[in-house]
Structure 1
Amino acid sequence: MNAAVGGVEERTAYSGLGERPRLLRHIAIVTHCVPELNPVIAAWTEYLGYTVVERGELRDPLCAAWNTPGAAGERYCTVRPESGQDSLIRFIETADPGGYGPPMTFGWNATELLVQDVDALAERLRGSPFTILGGPGDLYPRPRAPRAMQVSGPSGELIYFTRILPGGSRYGMHGARSPVDRVFIVTVGGPSSDRMHEFYGGTLGLRIMDRMPFINTILARGCAVPPSTIFPTSIARIPGRSFLIEMDEYPATVQPRLRREGHLPPGMSLVTFLVNSLDDVTPPVRSPPRSIEGVPYGGRRVVVVEGKAGEWLELIEGDRS
């Protein structure tokens, strides 16, 4: 479980709202690359209540938008929470091992889902393909605090399940609408929190909340450092009070994630966000904008940019559909 230490919060250069354009608006998909597709889908549907909305093989236009020609033809399956909310999880079957750790690597590393009763879910997951790593437990020593547990999925995917009670979130977040609901936080780890702040705050225009020192035994185990290691942690707020990005500064011993040329990053591969206009996107893109069909693209233009920790962000132009 996470534990704040020292009680010292450090303001960031992007703690205020400022006049920056806020590009990211909604998390549409979190994509995981896994070695075997069928066992993962079976586990997520049986134990988490997710339903399949699309399956098939990756087509050339989408792989061209990602600039990953080697991924064409790989099998994928996209699933949705029982609530029907439009934040999806996509699994792609690849030949790349791991990507989740240990050892942890820089990039996207954890997917956090809303749940209604984390203790009941913990009982349900016992003896399942999901392994409980930590919790359930309250995140803060106060009434109505969020209650969470950390779990490793069938392919090693790191998942945080969190219950939020009304009025219990310091960020104004709302709770789950189904026993296991949508993603609401994605976590990226990198060598420098300042550089991540510059990207998400300066380039993408998000408000970066005060940086705090945290002890995270799950991260420490994944990074092969002592359990008492302090991780500087900060939160980027996506407008709308539905989604957050957690940024963790990793120890110097952690390495970049290796990726085969022409393929997606292994493990938690990319996170897909909606943006108003791709014309506002200033970071270099992996490929020129392309119109993509299928869920959730619907013929809209798509690009991929890379963050300062090597993480990939897929950007879809337009409103929710």
Structure 2
Amino acid sequence: MTPFQSHGRVIAGTVTVPSLDAALTLYRDLFGLIEVERRPVPADLAASWGCPANAGAPSALLQPASGAPCFIRLVEQPVPDAFVPTTSFGWASYEISVQNVFDWADRIAAAGAGVSIIGPPKEIPSLPFFVAMQMHGPGKEMLYFNEVRMDTPTTDLPKAQSPVDHIFITILAAHDRAASVAWYRDIIGLDEADSYTLNYTMINKAFGLPDGTQSSLTMMQAGRMPIFEIDDYPAQATTRPCDPGHLPPGNALVTMAVRSFEGLAVEWVNPPMRRDGALYEGRLTATVRGPSGELLELVEMEQG
């Protein structure tokens, strides 16, 4: 298994929620994630995202009980009325390794904790590698809970070491899948892996498309480590509605480790700077916008 803090590893996913306290009841108290920081969003951090209106917003950083150095950051902000999950370009979902996914479906339903299960867990004989379920959280974020059973022939999949462990794949709703694949391959330095065309139930439901409508996706990896799933979206997809100066709603921003900023041919939202705290550990960090408008925060692993 590829170690953490290696090139391409997702080390955080940021979620926007209408109430931080209510979201902590879900993520901390029900899911069992450990709250490691709580503070207002620093103005210079909000500026680094290109989201100055988030300065001072309540936020919390949570880590799996396993100790895996991969975080979920919650940021409080209103949910735009026009935001409908899985219908706009940008980060569409975070896929999280969990134990006993069927038990989680029952616990979430019993708790009534602001989560809507939209894809119950189901065994699929042709996919023995994992069992997944899909849900919307309190900020209309999409989460996949994925119980890993075994590695696939081309990827190493992480088995959860705590009831809810870490993000290991993030899903991108692409305006142009080929352009996004090329950018992440040629600019960010990831490996283009397999592509698939399938009956994608979540997309078909979100857009009211007939069952059996086919969508294509491409996996991006670093060696055998899966990182991003880049999805084609239908012609009906739109730019994500976003209040001026704020983070995109729902699955807002992905933080990824890179070897070095040297030679990265990207346009930073603001110049890189060193940041402290459990997520950054004094490393250089800066944010870019990907081809579909997604916010990708990069953290340099090599210390200069």
The aligned residue for residue 14 of structure 1 is none
Quote how far apart the aligned CAs of 1:230 are.
1.3
The aligned residue for residue 259 of structure 1 is 242
Matches of 2:255 and 2:85 in 1, distance apart? 25
- Residue by residue over 1:193-245, the C-alpha shift from the partner in whole angstroms, topping out at 9 and shown as x without a partner, is 1111111112212111222112122222223333322110110013463x420
How do 1:70-109 residues align onto structure 2 when only pairs under 5 Å count? 70-97=53-80, 101-102=84-85, 104-109=87-92
- Does residue 195 of structure 1 match 2:179? yes
Quote how far apart the aligned CAs of 1:156 are.
1.9
Output the amino acid matched with 1:83.
Answer: S
Matches of 1:188 and 1:121 in 2, distance apart? 25
Give the total of aligned pairs: 296
Q: Structure 2: which 5+ runs fail to align?
A: 1-5
Output the amino acid matched with 1:203.
Answer: I
1:138–1:145 contact (8 Å) kept in structure 2:
no
2:91–2:294 contact (8 Å) kept in structure 1:
yes
Quote how far apart the aligned CAs of 1:25 are.
2.6
Of residues 113, 116, 125, the one that matches 1:131 is 116
Matches of 1:169 and 1:117 in 2, distance apart? 23
- Does residue 206 of structure 1 match 2:206? no
In the superposition, relative to structure 1, how do residues 99 and 298 fare at CA in structure 2: closer, same or farther (>3 Å)? Answer: farther
Quote how far apart the aligned CAs of 1:173 are.
1.6
Quote how far apart the aligned CAs of 1:77 are.
0.7
Matches of 2:171 and 2:238 in 1, distance apart? 17
Of residues 123, 146, 150, the one that matches 2:134 is 150
Output the amino acid matched with 2:271.
Answer: P
Quote how far apart the aligned CAs of 1:111 are.
0.7
Length-normalised TM-score, structure 2? 0.90
1:203–1:283 contact (8 Å) kept in structure 2:
yes
Percent same amino acid at aligned positions?
29
Output the amino acid matched with 2:209.
Answer: V
How do 1:48-87 residues align onto structure 2 when only pairs under 5 Å count? 48-87=31-70
Output the amino acid matched with 1:308.
Answer: P
In the superposition, relative to structure 1, how do residues 69 and 238 fare at CA in structure 2: closer, same or farther (>3 Å)? Answer: same
Length-normalised TM-score, structure 1? 0.86
Quote how far apart the aligned CAs of 1:64 are.
2.7
Quote how far apart the aligned CAs of 1:107 are.
0.2
Measured on the aligned residues, the alpha-carbon RMSD in Å equals 2.1
